[in-house]
Structure 1
Amino acid sequence: MSLSLPTRALGALLFVALLPATLHAAPLPVIPDAPKVDARNYVLIDPASGQTLAAQAADQPVPPASLTKLMTAYLTFQAIGRGSLKPDQVVPVSVAAWKAGGSTMFLQPLLPATVEQMIQGMVVVSGNDAAVALAEAVAGNTDSFVQMMNASARQLGMTHSHFDNVDGLPTPTHKVSAQDVGTLTQAIIRQYPQYLHYFGEKSFTYNKVTQANWNPLVLSDNSVTGMKTGHTDEAGYCLDATATRNGRELIAVVLGSSSRKGSAEAAQALLSYGYHFFNTHRAYQAGQVISRVRNNSAKPAQIQLGSLRDVWVTLPIGRYAELKSSVELAPMTLPLTRGQGIGTLVMSVDGKEVARVPLVALQAVEQAGWFGRLWNRVRSWV
C-alpha cells in the first residue's frame, strides 16, 4: 500500500532530522591577516587576476633603488620588439656607462658586449653600467630615455612614480610605489614572457668575472623565477620576487627592509601567505557571453557582452562559491566594433567588491534602419 502525501512528508522530515552532523556544511577556513614582515612598504599580487592580496603603504612613493632597472628592461624589450635593437647586436660602451659607478657588470669601452649580455648584466647582477649603455642604445642619451620611462609609467597607470635616472641612484624626486612596481612587473610578465628567463639566471659571467644573481631567493627557492633586487641607504633593501607554484604565479614586492636577508624573508613570507590562503579561479573564458543587453536601435538587437581574455578572480580559500557578478553598462553609441568597451563586470563576495573587469561587445553591432528598429520593437513585445 502506498504512502499518503502527509505520511511521505512526515517521512521526509524524519529523514532530514536524522541526518548525521557530518553532512552539514563544513565551516569556512579561517584566513589570517598578512604576516608582519621587515618592510616599510609591500604588496602581494596575483598577476592572473591582477588582484592585490595583501598590502602595506603600497601607494607611498619611496626610493626604489635598482628596482628602477625594471623600467629600463621594459623599454629595452620594447625596442627589441619593434626591431630597433637586436639581442645579438653589439652596443658601444660610452665613457658615461663605463664610469656609472655602483654595481657593475664590468663593461669597458673597448670590450664588445651584446644587447643580450647587457640585459643579463642589468637584471642578474644589477649593473648600472649596463643600464646606462642600454638607455643610450635605445634613446641616444639617458635624458631622452628617462622621458620615455616617465611616459611609459603614465601609460601603465603607475600614478605614484617618477623617474630621474635609469639605474636607481637616489635623487629627491626619484620615487616609485610598491603597487607601481607590481604593475610594471605584471606588464613585463604579460607582454614579454620570452625574456623572463633572464631574471631567474643564477649567475652571469662577463669580462672573466662571474657574479651570482643578487636575488637570494633565486638561489634558495626553486619556485622563485625572478625578478629584481635593489639597495641604497635611502631605499633600504628592496626585492621584487616572482614565483610559480603548481602553475600559479604570485608577485611579492617589498621595499625598505633593514637587510638583504630581511627583504628575502619578507618576500618569502608574503608568497607563502598567498599560496596557503588564496586560490585563483577562472570565472569566465575568453569570448564567453557574460551578459546580454537589448537595444532596439541596434542590429543585432541583442548585444553580447564578454571579455576577449579569460577572467580570473582570486579569493580566500573556500569562498569561490559565494562569488556574485553584476554588470554596469556604459553609455552606448552605435555602431560598435568587436572588442569595444561597453560596460564593467563587478564581482563581489558578501557585498564586498573584489574585482572589476571591462566588458566589451563580442561582435560588431550596426545601427538598425527604420524597419529594423520597428521590427525590434515588435519582437520585444512578444
Structure 2
Amino acid sequence: MKKLATLLLLAVAPLGAHATSGPAPMLHAKSAVVYDINAHKALLEKNPDEVMPLASMTKLMTAMVALDQNPALDETLVVSGEDVDHLKHSASRVPVGTQLERKEMLRLALMSSENRSASAVSRNALPGGLPTFVASMNQKAQALGMTHTHFDDSTGLSPQNVSTANDVVKMADAASHYALIHQFTTLTHYDEDVGTRKLSYHNSDPMVGRPGWDIQLSKTGFTNEAGRCVVVKVNMPTGPVVIALMGADTSGGRSSDMIAIRNWLEGKPATFAPRLFYAGAKTGGRHAIIAARAASGRKPVMLASARPGHGVRTGHVAIAQATERSSNIRLVAYSGRSAPRFHPHKAKSGKHRRYSA
C-alpha cells in the first residue's frame, strides 16, 4: 500500500557549507533558525526575522532575570490570586495558597511550563513586583542584542510577548549557561509535593531524554496566537547548535521538524515519514472512538475521530499517522471495508480530537 501524503510543507534556505546531504528540510514551522555555536553562523533559516508571539519560551528570560538577582533558592513562595491566568484561563495543578521553595517554582516553570509558578517567581523577585520585573526582562533582552523582542508578561500568555527566531537563538544560548536552567529544562520528569498530593510532571518537549538527543536546553511554547514553538540547544556530531522553531500548527509538526533537522545535520535524508497506524472505529457516546494499534504490533493507542456524520463510522477501517515518538496521532484516511482502498479524510481541521500514544 502506498504511503499517504502527510502535510503541506514550506521550504527553507540552507546557509553556507556544512556536513549535510541532500536538500534542506521542509519545515512545518513558519519561522526557523538552526545556528552553529562554534562557527557563529546560521546553517538554516526560514523567515528568521519575522516577529511572532513567543508563548512560553518567555520563561527562559523569566528564569534568567530571576536568577540574576542571586535570590535565596530555598525561600518559600506562595501562589496567590495574582498568579491565576485571567487572560487565557489556562489550567493549573498548583492551587492558590500552594507554598513551594523558589527553586521548586523555577523547576515547574521551566520543565513543565507551569504558569502560576513562573508568575510567583517573577512577582517575588524584585521590589516593585511584576511591572519592575517585566521591565528588567526587556532590559536584558536589549543587552543580549534581541532587538526585535518585547515582553509584556513573565509567563508568555500575553500575545504581546513577541520575538524572532534569530532573537530566540540569542536568548536560548545565554540561558544555557545558567546551571539551573540547563538542569531543569533537560529533566524528563519530576515528582512534586503540592500540598498533600504528590504530582508527577513531565517535560513539555518530547525530545528531551530521547536516545541520541544530547539536549543542553529546551523550552516549548504554545498559545493560539503563537502556534507550537520550541527552542533547543543540542550537541550534534558536528558540534552544538541552537534550533529555534516558531509557529508550527501542531505538536507533531514541531517534532517532525526537529527530527528532519537532525537528519539533515547528520547527512541523512531530511524527509521524515510519520508512522502509520491501522485502526477500527466503534461508537462511544457522541463520538466515534478509534482504537488503533501500530502496524508493528505495539500497544494500542487511542484516537478520537469525529462526531457521527463526519466520516468514520462503526466498523470502518482507518489509517492514522504519528510522529516518531507516537505523539499527536491524527486520522488521515478511512474506508468502509477492510480492503486497503483508503480515501483521504476530508473533515475540516478541529473536527478531530488528538491524543498521544
> What TM-score does the superposition give when structure 2 sets the normalisation length?
0.63
Change (3 A) 1:276 1:162: same
Report the equivalent of 1:137. 124
User: How far apart are the structure 2 equivalents of 1:137 and 1:229?
Assistant: 24
Q: Which amino acid aligns with 2:118?
A: A
Spell out, residue by residue over 1:243-272, the C-alpha distance to the aligned partner (whole angstroms, 9 max, x if none). Answer: 224583221111111111111111222233
Are 1:228 and 2:223 an aligned pair? Answer: no
Mapped contact 2:74–2:103 kept (Cα < 8 A):
yes
Are 1:244 and 2:232 an aligned pair? Answer: no
May I ask how many residue pairs the two structures share in their alignment? 243
Work out which of the residue numbers 254, 270, 288 in structure 2 matches 1:263.
254
Mapped contact 1:251–1:271 kept (Cα < 8 A):
no
Larger radius of gyration: 1
Q: Which amino acid aligns with 2:161?
A: H
Mapped contact 2:20–2:264 kept (Cα < 8 A):
no
Summarize the alignment of residues 288-299 of structure 1 with structure 2, pairs less than 5 Å apart: none
Local SS of the residue matching 1:261: helix
Local SS of the residue matching 2:77: coil
Q: Any unmatched runs of 5+ in structure 2?
A: 1-17, 269-357
Change (3 A) 1:217 1:145: same
Q: CA RMSD in A?
A: 2.3
Change (3 A) 1:90 1:156: same
Work out which of the residue numbers 59, 68, 86 in structure 2 matches 1:78.
68
Are 1:201 and 2:174 an aligned pair? Answer: no
User: How far apart are the structure 1 equivalents of 2:20 and 2:69?
Assistant: 47
Mapped contact 2:61–2:175 kept (Cα < 8 A):
no
Change (3 A) 1:263 1:103: farther
1:170 Cα deviation (Å)? 3.2
Spell out, residue by residue over 1:84-130, the C-alpha distance to the aligned partner (whole angstroms, 9 max, x if none). Answer: x1222212322212456425351532x32011111110011101101
Report the equivalent of 1:292. none
Mapped contact 1:105–1:125 kept (Cα < 8 A):
no
Are 1:276 and 2:257 an aligned pair? Answer: no
Report the equivalent of 1:293. none
Mapped contact 2:37–2:239 kept (Cα < 8 A):
no
User: How far apart are the structure 2 equivalents of 1:247 and 1:86?
Assistant: 39
Mapped contact 1:135–1:166 kept (Cα < 8 A):
yes
Local SS of the residue matching 2:69: helix
Are 1:102 and 2:90 an aligned pair? Answer: yes
Report the equivalent of 1:155. 143
1:77 Cα deviation (Å)? 2.3
Change (3 A) 1:49 1:138: farther
Q: Which amino acid aligns with 1:159?
A: T
Mapped contact 1:105–1:122 kept (Cα < 8 A):
no
Are 1:211 and 2:201 an aligned pair? Answer: yes
Report the equivalent of 1:61. 51
Report the equivalent of 2:163. 176
Local SS of the residue matching 1:216: coil
1:211 Cα deviation (Å)? 2.0
Are 1:41 and 2:41 an aligned pair? Answer: no
User: How far apart are the structure 1 equivalents of 2:179 and 2:40?
Assistant: 16
1:31 Cα deviation (Å)? 5.0
User: How far apart are the structure 1 equivalents of 2:20 and 2:181?
Assistant: 39
User: How far apart are the structure 2 equivalents of 1:224 and 1:29?
Assistant: 19
User: How far apart are the structure 2 equivalents of 1:103 and 1:123?
Assistant: 16
> What TM-score does the superposition give when structure 1 sets the normalisation length?
0.59
Mapped contact 1:103–1:125 kept (Cα < 8 A):
no
Mapped contact 2:21–2:267 kept (Cα < 8 A):
no
Are 1:167 and 2:155 an aligned pair? Answer: yes
Mapped contact 1:239–1:264 kept (Cα < 8 A):
no
Local SS of the residue matching 1:66: helix
User: How far apart are the structure 1 equivalents of 2:204 and 2:35?
Assistant: 22
Q: Which amino acid aligns with 1:130?
A: S
Q: Any unmatched runs of 5+ in structure 1?
A: 1-27, 278-382
Local SS of the residue matching 2:53: coil
Q: Which amino acid aligns with 1:104?
A: S
Report the equivalent of 1:87. 73
1:169 Cα deviation (Å)? 1.3
Mapped contact 1:64–1:168 kept (Cα < 8 A):
yes
